[in-house]
Amino acid sequence: MADVKNRNISSTLRQPYTYGNTALQPAAVPVKRGTKREFEKEIENRIEEKVLRNRMSTRTYSSLQILIIALALMVILVIGGFYLNQLSGYRAKVNKAASLEKQMLELSKDNALLQNIYESHIDYSGIYEYASSIGMTTPGKQQIITYQRSNEEYVEKDGEIPNE
């Protein structure tokens, strides 16, 4: 248990201080002989001095510190604005790409439909009859010649065809 001492510092301090606790020990106030009003006035003056010292010791920012903070905030705002501008431009490009892709799909569907329509109107028997009437015939097996190419991606004109 903490050691308790009862010191009569003044007539207004009636509670004992418990040593070993976390509360600050009150400073000893010298007892002045005089009236109660003078004593209270002295206490008020000491409190005012302490408040004034606390106010003076609070941190105030210099003009250089305020300027640096303002510049940092401006840089953050400029970078944020630039980022938002880039983001909106990116979103606009993504939306345009999506609309162009949708348009391309519609065009490819239309092209496939038109190709089916045109191919359905081709008269292959009429082409065969016309080709036969002008003397074209189907080649026989002895007329078909096959050969191997060395480079499948590039062919020179008449360069790799065998002369047999």
Residue 114 pLDDT exceeds 80: yes
**24-83 pLDDT, tens per residue?**
666 665 555 667 788 888 888 888 888 888 777 776 778 888 899 999 999 999 999 999
Residue ranges of domains in the chain: 4-57, 63-135
Q: What is the mean pLDDT of the chain?
A: 79
This prediction's pTM: 0.37
d(CA 92, CA 66): 39
Surface-to-core class of residue 156, CB atoms within 10 Å of its CB (0-12 exposed, 13-18 middle, 19+ buried): exposed
**Is residue 4 predicted with pLDDT exceeding 70?**
no
